[in-house]
């Protein structure tokens, strides 16, 4: 993150703009809208800018900028058409520890202006860190279409009753439940329909009757986070991620996905690696029950799909035995995601009419699998958690009749920018990766469909390695 997004109160604070052209006018209009006291210094000032500053109580100085002009200012905007002057302003501001924005020179900025969606008091801001202002404006336009102006009126109504709601419901969970009901239910619908008086009457009625959902018993959301790419999340998964109070997440859940969870949620890492369980499975089960019984909405976030080698069945069995309500949201399992991003179809009319998902790491820490059933032709085998057992997998498949020339793929961190694909055969794969840095999570795909990788690979081909 190059810039930390902040919402800065400028009400009645002195702000300096150096420059008097069209760009300075745009910046001044924005700052005036934020109730800042704007002053302008420039040898030439547009009449519209002069009128705006005079109307709002600021001062216009038709002269060159001097360092002393920066003293006492809350922030400075350098908007001249002279890069040397802009650089000097940035230097002077930096020496005085005053935030400065230099138009079209992000490398000199200590703050930048985002593209803004104004639904006051709701404000949404989008920034590219100065790398692509046009892209930021495009994204702002998309936000404009999904944020009706009525959201501002809804926020004003909520602000009006905020203290009263806090006095009525002493527990934060009860307040949150009440507001969620108000802001997503009939009250919000009335505001969006332009019936603010009716909306306020209904809100007051619900507040007085205390008809909020009292969450004496919470709920658990068992959600599949997919193989790593945040764009592969389902809509339902994202909605539950953003409303959960507590999040228990696995090691395989990528940081970009965790960043989509509600910002104020309690985050608990229960990640498991081979022979290294940060929290034992029994402990995870108990945490889900305990937090739910305290009235929390608990998100159990798992890489891939909860019911495919994710031990989701064990967790909901514990919830059922304790009378805890739950929802299960499927995710794209690693086999589907990684094979697709590697350009390897799991089934193909000419190569494989069936596919088998197999764990390469069994409960008893062995790879004691039904090898004779796996060593079939016209079948694709996908091994989860098989990196440590790769030599055994290759040897056993050959030993039970599979050709040593059968292609095999190892997909590391599939669907992410760090994806790496290694292609070899059962006979050569172990030697192929001897001098390569391969780490979990990895997926192993065995079968003739792997031969299609060279033709069908489409995702970040520069990160793929074919042997």
- Tell me, yes or no, whether 323 and 371 share the same domain: no
- Tell me, yes or no, whether 196 and 232 share the same domain: no
- Tell me, yes or no, whether 341 and 412 share the same domain: yes
Q: Is residue 6 part of a domain?
A: no
Helix axes 172-184, 196-209, angle to 10 degrees: 150
Could you report the per-residue pLDDT of 410-421, keeping only the tens digit for each? 999 999 999 999
Q: CB atoms < 10 A from the CB of 95, how many?
A: 10
**Whole-number Å distance between alpha carbons of 115 and 365:** 54
Q: Is the pLDDT of residue 346 over 80?
A: yes
Could you report the per-residue pLDDT of 348-388, keeping only the tens digit for each? 999 999 999 998 875 555 667 899 999 988 999 999 988 98
Q: Is the pLDDT of residue 466 over 70?
A: no
Q: Is the pLDDT of residue 275 over 60?
A: no
Q: Is the pLDDT of residue 433 over 80?
A: yes
Q: Is residue 310 part of a domain?
A: yes
Q: Is the pLDDT of residue 88 over 70?
A: yes
Q: What's the predicted TM-score (pTM) here?
A: 0.65
- Tell me, yes or no, whether 182 and 235 share the same domain: no
For residues 362 and 352, the answer to whether their CB atoms sit within 8 Å is: no
- Tell me, yes or no, whether 28 and 103 share the same domain: yes
Q: CB atoms < 10 A from the CB of 51, how many?
A: 12
Give catalytic status of residue 272 as yes or no.
Answer: yes
pLDDT average, residue stretch 447-464: 82
Q: At 260, is the secondary structure helix, strand, or coil?
A: coil
106 vs 344, residue with greater confidence: 344
Q: Is residue 214 part of a domain?
A: no
Average pLDDT, the chain: 90
- Tell me, yes or no, whether 233 and 280 share the same domain: yes
Could you report the per-residue pLDDT of 62-81, keeping only the tens digit for each? 999 999 999 999 999 999 99
Q: Is the pLDDT of residue 464 over 70?
A: no
- Tell me, yes or no, whether 372 and 296 share the same domain: no
For residues 136 and 126, the answer to whether their CB atoms sit within 8 Å is: yes
pLDDT average, residue stretch 432-447: 91
Could you report the per-residue pLDDT of 207-240, keeping only the tens digit for each? 888 654 445 678 899 999 999 999 999 988 998 8
pLDDT average, residue stretch 49-65: 95
Q: Is the pLDDT of residue 465 over 50?
A: no
User: Of 300, 332, 364, which residue constitutes the final position of a domain?
Assistant: 332
- Tell me, yes or no, whether 356 and 436 share the same domain: yes
Distance of CA 311 to the CA centre of its chain: 25
Residue with tokens 């088998």: 356
Could you report the per-residue pLDDT of 306-342, keeping only the tens digit for each? 999 989 999 999 999 999 999 999 999 999 999 999 9
- Tell me, yes or no, whether 450 and 348 share the same domain: yes
Strand partners, 118: 123
Rounded (5°) CA angle 95-97-102:
80
Among the listed residues 250, 396, 413, 420, the single catalytic one is 250
Total domain count, the chain: 4
* Helix residue ranges, H only, 131-217: 133-146, 150-168, 172-184, 186-192, 196-209
Could you report the per-residue pLDDT of 113-154, keeping only the tens digit for each? 999 999 999 999 999 988 888 999 899 988 888 788 889 999
Give catalytic status of residue 250 as yes or no.
Answer: yes
Under the banding of pLDDT at 50, 70 and 90, the label for residue 174 is confident
Where in the sequence is the domain holding 162, given as residue range(s)?
150-209
**Whole-number Å distance between alpha carbons of 243 and 261:** 8
- Tell me, yes or no, whether 178 and 290 share the same domain: no
**Whole-number Å distance between alpha carbons of 154 and 187:** 9
- Tell me, yes or no, whether 240 and 312 share the same domain: yes
Q: Give the CATH number for residue 396.
A: 3.30.950.10
Q: Is the pLDDT of residue 463 over 80?
A: no
User: Of 332, 367, 392, which residue constitutes the final position of a domain?
Assistant: 332
Residue with tokens 């995870």: 284
User: Of 209, 240, 258, which residue constitutes the final position of a domain?
Assistant: 209
Could you report the per-residue pLDDT of 285-314, keeping only the tens digit for each? 999 999 999 988 899 999 999 999 989 999
Strand partners, 17: 40, 77
The pLDDT of residue 184: 80
Among the listed residues 272, 294, 427, 460, the single catalytic one is 272
Q: Is residue 170 part of a domain?
A: yes
């Amino acid at each position: 993150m190059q810039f930390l997004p902040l919402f800065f109160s400028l009400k009645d604070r002195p702000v300096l703009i150096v420059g008097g052209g069209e760009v300075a006018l745009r910046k001044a209009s924005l700052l005036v809208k934020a109730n800042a006291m704007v002053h302008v210094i420039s040898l030439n000032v547009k009449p519209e800018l002069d009128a705006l500053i005079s109307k709002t109580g600021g001062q216009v100085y038709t002269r060159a900028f001097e360092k002393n002009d920066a003293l006492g200012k809350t922030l400075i905007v350098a908007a001249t058409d002279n890069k040397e002057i802009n650089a000097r302003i940035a230097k002077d501001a930096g020496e005085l520890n005053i935030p400065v924005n230099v138009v079209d020179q992000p490398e000199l900025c200590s703050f930048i202006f985002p593209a803004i969606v104004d639904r006051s008091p709701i404000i949404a801001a989008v920034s590219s860190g100065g790398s692509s202002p046009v892209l930021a404006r495009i994204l702002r336009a998309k936000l404009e279409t999904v944020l009706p102006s009525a959201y501002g009126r809804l926020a004003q109504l909520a602000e009006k009753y905020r203290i009263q709601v806090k006095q009525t419901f002493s527990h934060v969970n009860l307040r949150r439940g009440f507001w969620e009901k108000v802001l997503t239910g009939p009250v919000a619908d009335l505001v969006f329909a332009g019936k603010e008086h009716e909306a306020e009457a209904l809100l007051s009625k619900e507040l007085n009757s205390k008809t909020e959902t009292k969450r004496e018993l919470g709920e658990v959301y068992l959600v599949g986070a997919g193989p790593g790419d945040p764009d592969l999340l389902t809509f339902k998964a994202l909605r539950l991620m953003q409303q959960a109070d507590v999040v228990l997440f696995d090691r395989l859940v990528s940081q970009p996905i965790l960043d989509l969870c509600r910002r104020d949620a309690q985050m608990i890492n229960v990640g498991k690696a081979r022979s290294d369980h940060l929290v034992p499975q029994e402990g995870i089960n108990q945490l889900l029950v305990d937090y739910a019984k305290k009235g929390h909405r608990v998100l159990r976030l798992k890489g891939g799909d909860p019911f495919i080698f994710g031990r989701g069945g064990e967790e909901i069995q514990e919830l059922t035995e304790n009378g805890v309500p739950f929802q299960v949201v499927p995710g794209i399992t690693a086999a589907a995601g990684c094979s697709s991003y590697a350009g390897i179809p799991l089934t193909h009319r000419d190569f494989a009419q069936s596919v088998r998902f197999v764990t390469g790491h069994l409960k008893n820490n062995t790879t004691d699998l039904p090898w004779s059933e796996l060593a079939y032709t016209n079948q694709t085998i996908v091994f989860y958690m098989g990196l440590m057992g790769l030599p055994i997998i290759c040897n056993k498949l050959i030993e039970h009749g599979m050709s040593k020339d059968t292609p095999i793929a190892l997909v590391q961190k599939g669907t992410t920018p760090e994806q790496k694909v290694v292609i070899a055969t059962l006979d050569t794969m172990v030697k192929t990766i001897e001098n390569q840095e391969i780490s979990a999570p990895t997926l192993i795909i065995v079968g003739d469909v792997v031969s299609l990788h060279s033709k069908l690979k489409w995702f970040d081909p520069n990160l793929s390695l074919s042997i």
